[in-house]
Structure 1
């Protein structure tokens, strides 16, 4: 293990996203496919690589990179990782100096911010030379395109899910939300669970304040028939809609039914759910394995709450890999990306911890045991495929900053330092400066 080298620390829906992205990009010119030079094995090469995540993800990456270096003995990979918020702060600083890592994890929310501003390498020229995307679904590959160039290669796919701790609910004598539950049903369930959990030692809460996550708001908007962003990259919702969303949680906030924000900040990067003091939560389905590892208990998944037209969800690339436009080793960077996306051994190492692998070869190589977390994530995506009918919200430039500001204001709302109206006013002032409205 190379721990000393660490720093601290799919579907038609996707094709529709790609059409929007390629239609309004402003990035650098594209590179003809296959125009790159083949990786040289005659020189010693050092690459830098960065990702967001926890120590468990870091251990998996280190194992995978060990295999990569065995296969490419002339390449040394220097690694670093940070928690989500710190990761993007570090990348912003590096981008300002034109010194992004050679290879980095990329999120769909940030792809336009970095790809359309000349910060990322167009990998098109590497395709068929040092990078093979032939084993990936074409619509999934297209999710990493901007202005006809390939600025990210998807590693995985995932969708949102509700997670609940089956053992804790058994202790409380509370059933999980029923099949086909709505957002109103969820709110009633949270109130009931937190009331029963008040007598538990330690006190057990039903949920954290889900209204503070932008992706949940976007999911709710889509269920109301609202496309959150326009094709030209502007906001397509208003103050009244955001107010309605945030007001959903006000009675639960007033009743102290959500996991307390003060305690949530104290235990970061852990969560109320992972320390066994919160019965349920919502996030991307690939968190199942880490949740069971951290809690040591059985965790189960349900689809997201239903909207007015029933259950409606969307696929999202779990994460992508990108290369820096300033890398001095584009062939080696593309080779590392190719390895992490396609190599079967990587599938065996990571399983579904980053989402269901984009490459079928990695899915086949996982060798999942029936009932394992990996098997259940794959099964969950098969089970919800019929309700994944919507297009993932278009990742407009700066949406990562909008997401961070939404989270920050939510924390102030939970502390009682802001009202809902003040939250909405401040967020739209922030957003209008960066994105604007339709």
Structure 2
């Protein structure tokens, strides 16, 4: 693949940096590397030096016989710092990147392919690994994954006579939502905001209809947007979805007024503490089965180093972090990560069997940059969320909005 010039790389990386589906804050000063010190950057400033996460990272350093100098940035700042470090030839040894940014940095020539690095990726779930692949090469390994499902309020469903197990496809979901509305309760809420979060939440319905990101105006894509539009038009979903972030959607659900909310693995603990009994079901595909949901989560990546002799120790760090036990520890530390290997998933289910629906969801999930979309994904996503906004606001029909989106995406990706 043709490498980008540095000005174009900056644009691409900044686009990727905007892809995070949750916001983090704060950062610490940039570290300096020494022979016995390995630099580690991650997007977890909420986990300080005394945290279980920091201790875990340091323990892997000790196991590899080196000291870890860890720096935590928020997601956007991290990717921007990675760009600068790559320009200056002073990249850290390890960076944990939000998965959509991996292919962008790889395309910029900043990351080492795992095969070149000598790390076997065969044990990682292919659907999760694909989010960090470009042109057939893996440029990172997932430390875990989160994804979406439908949370439900059991009290409301019981009152409306809805059995969540009966929801198998769009028809049965629509029937359940109508029962809830007829009972006088609010049916469903989700995030359709004009950002990556809106695309993230629309993708299960888009993919579940059989649509592909390379053809935003396909009949299947139109069906998916018609579904959402009909919910808002008919009062099944509130008008607030147009401006809802995933956090505000969750706040709506926690009021106890909504039967369903589309949200992610990261709300497991919050759901358990709700003032009403909750459960989850997989997001159904149009004609039945589970819809592919987008993966969230970070990849461990290895920036290109001038001193390739450092890679042997870096490999030890990656292997330490991704043993079955290590993946479970990550999942436990963050309370919303599902391990990215079959062994890790079995191990976390042995500790917490209630996570099985989420393990199932992750196993059927799909990376946003999969299908070798790479640096094209942010442009396609922006066109898609713009179409969703137009349709839900009534500014355009779903078909017209997606037709314009396809033209926008085609122009942006061919430019």
How does the TM-score come out when normalised to structure 2? 0.68
Q: Secondary structure at the match of 2:189?
A: coil
Looking at structure 2, the residues matched to 134 and 187 of structure 1 have their Cα atoms a distance apart, in angstroms, of: 40
| Equivalent runs, 1:208-287 vs 2, <5 Å | 208=190, 213-214=198-199, 219-220=204-205, 223-226=208-211, 228=212, 235-238=214-217, 240-259=219-238, 260-261=240-241, 264-265=244-245, 268=248, 271-274=251-254, 276-283=256-263, 286-287=265-266
Structure with the largest fraction of helix: 2
The one of 356, 381, 384 aligned to 2:338: 356
Shift of 1:431: 0.9
8 Å Cα contact 1:312/1:389 also seen in 2: no
Looking at structure 1, the residues matched to 403 and 382 of structure 2 have their Cα atoms a distance apart, in angstroms, of: 16
Looking at structure 2, the residues matched to 116 and 266 of structure 1 have their Cα atoms a distance apart, in angstroms, of: 30
Structure 2 vs 1, CA of residues 409 and 184 (structure 1 numbering), >3 Å: closer, same or farther? same
Structure 2 vs 1, CA of residues 395 and 72 (structure 1 numbering), >3 Å: closer, same or farther? same
Deviates more, 1:161-170 or 1:137-146: 137-146
For CA contacts below 8 A with separation 6 or more, give which structure has more relative contact order: 1
8 Å Cα contact 2:150/2:262 also seen in 1: yes
- Number of residue equivalences: 373
Looking at structure 2, the residues matched to 368 and 289 of structure 1 have their Cα atoms a distance apart, in angstroms, of: 17
Looking at structure 2, the residues matched to 145 and 167 of structure 1 have their Cα atoms a distance apart, in angstroms, of: 43
Structure 2 vs 1, CA of residues 193 and 301 (structure 1 numbering), >3 Å: closer, same or farther? same
Identify the residue that residue 153 of structure 2 maps to in structure 1: 165
Identify the residue that residue 8 of structure 1 maps to in structure 2: 26
Identify the residue that residue 11 of structure 2 maps to in structure 1: none
Looking at structure 2, the residues matched to 96 and 410 of structure 1 have their Cα atoms a distance apart, in angstroms, of: 34
Looking at structure 2, the residues matched to 71 and 225 of structure 1 have their Cα atoms a distance apart, in angstroms, of: 46
Deviates more, 1:262-271 or 1:65-74: 262-271
8 Å Cα contact 1:290/1:353 also seen in 2: yes
Structure 2 vs 1, CA of residues 422 and 110 (structure 1 numbering), >3 Å: closer, same or farther? farther
Identify the residue that residue 435 of structure 1 maps to in structure 2: 413
Structure 2 vs 1, CA of residues 343 and 273 (structure 1 numbering), >3 Å: closer, same or farther? same
Structure 2 vs 1, CA of residues 142 and 276 (structure 1 numbering), >3 Å: closer, same or farther? same
Structure 2 vs 1, CA of residues 224 and 318 (structure 1 numbering), >3 Å: closer, same or farther? closer
Shift of 1:126: 3.1
Looking at structure 2, the residues matched to 241 and 55 of structure 1 have their Cα atoms a distance apart, in angstroms, of: 42
- 1:124-163 Cα deviation digits (max 9, x unpaired): 2432xxx565754678657644345430113346765322
Structure 2 vs 1, CA of residues 390 and 209 (structure 1 numbering), >3 Å: closer, same or farther? closer
- 1:105-129 Cα deviation digits (max 9, x unpaired): 44554443332331322232432xx
* 2:48 paired with 1:48: no
- Unaligned runs of 5+ residues in structure 2 are 1-23, 28-32
How does the TM-score come out when normalised to structure 1? 0.65
Looking at structure 2, the residues matched to 360 and 311 of structure 1 have their Cα atoms a distance apart, in angstroms, of: 21
Identify the residue that residue 109 of structure 2 maps to in structure 1: 118
8 Å Cα contact 1:303/1:384 also seen in 2: no
Structure 2 vs 1, CA of residues 395 and 63 (structure 1 numbering), >3 Å: closer, same or farther? farther
Identify the residue that residue 376 of structure 1 maps to in structure 2: 354
Structure 2 vs 1, CA of residues 267 and 224 (structure 1 numbering), >3 Å: closer, same or farther? closer
The one of 164, 176, 181 aligned to 1:189: 176
8 Å Cα contact 1:165/1:298 also seen in 2: yes
